[in-house]
């Protein structure tokens, strides 16, 4: 190892799953320094995401489960979910979760956004057990009369190595057809909130934003009085500008809202769609379909979790109680028996990563101090 060039050594380590790397930090000071290097951590995340793009999810992450009633968090590895029908898997109880009152909103690069019952938020890396509580959001108007709802989302800005949380609050008053909207962005690097340009349309889905291509996306409607959804709104987290993405023509007229790049089609079939060329309407393709005749449960309670193109299998969560591997060729489903799980639960995929939240905040504070010193020097000159 001593004779191996450092670049080769880093390249090899970047292909190792995150959990073993945590243990490798104890090998020596030089190993620890390499693994804790922010540049290496970003390289490792990129490698893990590349594995997912090639339909390889083993070793790259976990399913984080949260009980609807006991509010505890559990972890299931994807390796354990690849089992035969005679095997029972058991989730691990995460005793180190930072809040027993929080619900997962989304995840990005191994960092989870947790929304607490009192409206506060925190960022949490389940693997490293590190969490960072966001400061209270001040400046948001109090709820006024009308139909109020809010959504949040978490994403990453690679150009600045910063994680951003977006919160959008809207009040629609059907009496005068007015829509009031406020959008705030939190920067982990600056550890502060600020208001940006308001969201241009009514958000129709009470779910966390989907992070893709550097932007957070929500299903939206240009017609606030109708349940019809006709476009996807993306918020670029670097420029903080909005962009419009059209829905496939076949589903843009549906009254039931699609979920990110999947949707519930009528009541008999679940269609999952993929936009091959980002922003190009004609590039939408139907990735796969699951119908009520496939005998794996009520279609309206199915939620796609993962799609393995190489095996033509999709992992579905059914009725908040179980997971099913569904083979798209044979149309056969295999239920996964989970021992010791909550009665009902929500689930969120989370990449296993070494992202260190504290280092990003400290780096932001350092850059801010340098900027203030530079501004002070310039003003003196």
Instruction: Classify residue 111: in a domain, yes or no.
Output: yes
Query: Per residue in 280-290, pLDDT tens?
Result: 888 888 888 88
Over residues 364-378, mean pLDDT: 53
State the pLDDT at residue 236. 96
Contacts of 101 (CB under 8 A, 6+ apart): 71, 116, 117, 118
Instruction: Classify residue 340: in a domain, yes or no.
Output: no
For CA atoms 369, 163, 216, 309, give the dihedral sign: positive
Instruction: Show the domain range for 242.
Output: 96-246
Percent of the chain topping pLDDT 70: 79
Task: Give the highest mean pLDDT range of 8-12, 184-188, 325-329.
Answer: 184-188
Task: Give the number of C-alpha atoms closer than 13 A to the C-alpha of residue 294, restricted to the C-beta side.
Answer: 23
State the pLDDT at residue 56. 65
Query: Per residue in 284-317, pLDDT tens?
Result: 888 888 877 767 767 778 888 888 777 788 888 8
Percent of the chain topping pLDDT 90: 30
**From CA 16, how far away is CA 13, in angstroms rounded?**
5
**From CA 62, how far away is CA 42, in angstroms rounded?**
19
Query: Per residue in 97-130, pLDDT tens?
Result: 766 577 888 899 999 999 886 778 899 999 999 9
Q: What is the mean pLDDT of the chain?
A: 81
Given a cut of 90, whether residue 184 has pLDDT beyond it is yes
Instruction: Classify residue 137: in a domain, yes or no.
Output: yes
State the pLDDT at residue 258. 42
State the pLDDT at residue 207. 65
State the pLDDT at residue 80. 80
Instruction: Classify residue 178: in a domain, yes or no.
Output: yes
Query: Per residue in 30-75, pLDDT tens?
Result: 999 999 999 999 999 999 988 877 766 666 888 999 888 877 889 9
State the pLDDT at residue 205. 61
What phi, psi does 250 have (nearest 5°)?
-65, -25
Strands in 57-125 per DSSP E? 61-67, 73-77, 88-89, 92-93, 102-108, 111-116, 121-125
The total number of structural domains in the chain stands at: 1
Over residues 261-283, mean pLDDT: 71
Structure tokens at 162: 């910063």
Instruction: Classify residue 102: in a domain, yes or no.
Output: yes
Instruction: Classify residue 296: in a domain, yes or no.
Output: no
Grade residue 336 by pLDDT with cuts at 50, 70 and 90. Answer: confident
**From CA 115, how far away is CA 235, in angstroms rounded?**
20
For CA atoms 260, 112, 43, 9, give the dihedral sign: negative
Instruction: Classify residue 223: in a domain, yes or no.
Output: yes
Strand 322-327 to 313-318 pairing: antiparallel
Structure tokens at 80: 């354990």
Total Cβ atoms within 10 A of residue 103: 16
State the pLDDT at residue 298. 73
Query: Per residue in 119-162, pLDDT tens?
Result: 788 999 999 999 999 998 887 766 666 667 788 999 999 999 99
Instruction: Name the pTM for this structure.
Output: 0.86
Instruction: Classify residue 119: in a domain, yes or no.
Output: yes
Higher pLDDT, 2 or 92: 92
State the pLDDT at residue 374. 46
Query: Per residue in 13-29, pLDDT tens?
Result: 999 999 999 999 999 99
Over residues 163-184, mean pLDDT: 85
Over residues 177-202, mean pLDDT: 90
State the pLDDT at residue 378. 42
């Amino acid at each position: 190892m001593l004779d191996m060039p450092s670049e080769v050594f880093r390249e090899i380590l970047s292909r190792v799953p995150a959990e073993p790397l945590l243990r490798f930090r104890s090998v020596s000071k030089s190993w620890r320094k390499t693994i804790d290097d922010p540049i290496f951590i970003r390289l490792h995340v990129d490698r893990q995401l590349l594995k997912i793009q090639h339909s390889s999810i083993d070793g790259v992450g976990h399913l984080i489960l949260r009980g609807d009633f006991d509010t505890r968090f559990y972890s299931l590895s994807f390796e354990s979910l690849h089992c035969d029908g005679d095997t029972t898997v058991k989730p691990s109880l995460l005793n180190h979760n930072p809040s027993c009152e929080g619900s997962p909103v989304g995840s990005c690069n191994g960092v989870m956004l947790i929304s607490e019952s009192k409206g506060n938020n925190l960022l949490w890396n389940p693997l490293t057990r590190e969490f960072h509580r966001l400061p209270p959001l001040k400046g948001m108007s109090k709820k006024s009369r009308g139909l109020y709802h809010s959504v949040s989302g978490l994403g990453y800005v690679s150009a600045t190595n910063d994680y951003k949380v977006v919160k959008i609050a809207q009040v629609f008053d059907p009496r005068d057809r007015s829509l009031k909207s406020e959008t705030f962005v939190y920067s982990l690097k600056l550890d502060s909130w600020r208001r940006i340009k308001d969201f241009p349309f009514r958000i129709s889905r009470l779910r966390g934003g989907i992070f893709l291509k550097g932007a957070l996306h929500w299903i939206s409607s240009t017609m606030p009085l109708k349940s019809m959804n006709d476009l996807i709104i993306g918020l670029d987290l670097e420029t903080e500008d909005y962009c419009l993405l059209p829905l496939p023509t076949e589903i843009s007229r549906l009254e039931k809202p699609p979920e990110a790049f999947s949707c519930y089609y009528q009541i008999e079939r679940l269609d999952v769609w993929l936009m091959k060329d980002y922003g190009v309407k004609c590039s939408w393709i139907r990735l796969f379909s699951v119908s009520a005749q496939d005998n794996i449960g009520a279609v309206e309670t199915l939620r796609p979790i993962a799609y393995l193109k190489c095996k033509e299998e999709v992992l579905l969560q059914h009725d908040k109680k179980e997971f099913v591997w569904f083979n798209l060729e044979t149309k056969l489903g295999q239920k996964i028996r989970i021992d010791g799980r909550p009665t009902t639960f929500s689930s969120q995929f989370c990449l296993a990563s070494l992202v260190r939240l504290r280092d990003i905040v400290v780096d932001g504070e350092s850059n801010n101090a340098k900027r203030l010193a530079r501004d002070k020097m310039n003003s003196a000159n």
